[in-house]
């Protein structure tokens, strides 16, 4: 049969009325067991699927998550978010949920897109990424009672003890602490840090992991570059000629690639340099890097949203179950 089976096809195949098939689907208790089995057998044999639109209209559930996809902006680390979307799609499918994408170029446009999808019944819940302090998206979602989970913590007063909403994140400080301890054991105690300008939640968190892992008595050497290979290379070249350090922990793979190029041209090709994000670029150059495990982040996001079941429900937030903090893993090369 070329067209999808209809409820009439099932009724004819099972020798019952259309209403009986409908009862089996929606109120099975009112149908005799023998009849119920016959209808179920016909449904299975014909591959009948009640039309999604009808199902949705009845339940007002789309079983669909919305997620924003940024315009592609180049750069090395975008791959982490893409891996997260890949993993989310896979695990959502396993749990009977669909994933719908939407594009937006600003938080305000993102709110308009979320509102359209919510008003149209196209989505039940939203996954937001790239959260920042005072994020208007989170505020809008809370005000409009739309279930959501954020990849990225709210960066508020007490994210862990009293989180403002469901979130899953990677423990950046734990990652740079691993990298720093490994560098101390392998290369020596004077481990420098190449980070972004202060003020970004993610960057400051990663810096803290390094700073807190330095041995007492070691003067911290802190270099700064924006997320840009060429600038990182210049900054690292300058530092290699003026500062003494045994190894370099970087806030991102982009900065690590820049530092690696500087080390090669400065006659220190063996300098231990660690990146963050474990991107294909770091892998290709043989650089150690901290792996964010976006697959675990995706699973954590779904666990929070589904609260153990299949229903997407807005949960009462209780500390210790309102967030998932994934411990990243140092990949040594």
Q: Which residue ranges make up the site for a copy of itself (CB under 8 A)? A: 2, 4, 47, 49, 51-57, 60, 62, 64, 69-72, 74-76, 78-79, 82-83, 85-87, 89-90, 93, 98-103, 113, 116-122, 143-145, 229, 254, 257-258, 261, 264, 279-281, 283-285, 294-295
Nearest distance from C-beta of residue 278 to a copy of itself, angstroms:
9
Q: Which is nearer to a copy of itself, 39 or 117 (CB)?
A: 117
Q: Which is nearer to a copy of itself, 76 or 177 (CB)?
A: 76
Q: Which is nearer to a copy of itself, 72 or 242 (CB)?
A: 72
Q: Which is nearer to a copy of itself, 149 or 191 (CB)?
A: 149
Q: Which long-range contacts (CB under 8 A, 24 or more apart) does 305-313 make?
A: 305/65, 305/125, 305/127, 305/147, 305/148, 305/149, 305/166, 306/95, 310/95, 310/96, 310/97, 312/61, 312/63, 312/65, 312/97, 312/124, 312/125, 312/147, 313/147
Nearest distance from C-beta of residue 300 to a copy of itself, angstroms:
17
Nearest distance from C-beta of residue 121 to a copy of itself, angstroms:
5
Two tokens, residue 325: 């903090």
Two tokens, residue 80: 């982490």
Q: Which is nearer to a copy of itself, 54 or 244 (CB)?
A: 54
Two tokens, residue 163: 């989180």
Q: Which is nearer to a copy of itself, 100 or 160 (CB)?
A: 100
Please return the burial class of 75, using the count of CB atoms within 10 Å of its CB with bins 0-12, 13-18 and 19+: middle
Nearest distance from C-beta of residue 242 to a copy of itself, angstroms:
24
Nearest distance from C-beta of residue 187 to a copy of itself, angstroms:
22
- The CA–CA distances, whole Å, from 327 to 81, 107, 123, 153 equal 17, 28, 30, 14
Nearest distance from C-beta of residue 53 to a copy of itself, angstroms:
4
Neighbours of 175 (CB within 10 A): 27
Give the SS3 label for residue 272: strand
Q: Which is nearer to a copy of itself, 138 or 184 (CB)?
A: 138
**∠ CA(230), CA(231), CA(232), 5° rounding?**
90
Phi, psi (rounded to 5 degrees) for 323: -145, 160
- The Cα–Cα gap between 320 and 309 comes to 18
């Amino acid at each position: 049969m070329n067209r999808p089976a209809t409820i009439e096809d099932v009724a004819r195949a099972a020798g019952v009325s259309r209403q009986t098939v409908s009862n089996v689907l929606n109120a099975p208790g009112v149908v005799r067991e023998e009849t119920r089995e016959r209808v179920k057998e016909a449904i299975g044999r014909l591959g009948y699927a009640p039309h999604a639109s009808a199902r949705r209209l009845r339940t007002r559930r789309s079983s669909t998550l919305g997620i924003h996809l940024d315009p592609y902006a180049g750069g090395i680390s975008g791959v982490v978010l893409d891996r997260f979307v890949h993993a989310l799609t896979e695990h959502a499918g396993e749990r009977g949920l669909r994933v719908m994408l939407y594009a937006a170029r600003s938080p305000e446009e993102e709110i308009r897109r979320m509102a359209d999808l919510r008003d149209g019944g196209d989505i039940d819940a939203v996954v937001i990424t790239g959260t920042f302090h005072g994020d208007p998206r989170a505020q809008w979602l809370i005000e409009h009672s739309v279930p959501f989970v954020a990849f990225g913590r709210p960066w508020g007063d007490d994210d862990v003890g009293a989180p403002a909403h469901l979130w899953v994140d990677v423990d950046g400080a734990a990652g740079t602490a691993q990298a720093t301890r490994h560098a101390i054991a392998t290369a020596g105690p004077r481990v420098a840090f190449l980070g972004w300008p202060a003020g970004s939640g993610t960057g400051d968190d990663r810096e803290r992991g390094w700073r807190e892992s330095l041995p007492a008595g070691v003067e911290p050497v802190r270099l700064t570059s924006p997320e840009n290979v060429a600038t990182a290379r210049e900054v690292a070249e300058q530092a290699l000629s003026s500062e003494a350090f045994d190894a370099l922990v970087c806030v991102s793979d982009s900065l690590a690639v820049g530092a690696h190029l500087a080390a090669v041209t400065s006659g220190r090709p063996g300098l231990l340099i660690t990146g963050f994000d474990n991107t294909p670029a770091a892998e290709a150059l043989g650089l150690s890097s901290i792996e964010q495990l976006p697959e675990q982040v995706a699973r954590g996001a779904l666990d929070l949203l589904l609260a153990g079941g299949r229903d997407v429900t807005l949960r009462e937030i209780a500390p210790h179950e309102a967030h998932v903090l994934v411990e990243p893993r140092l990949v040594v090369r």
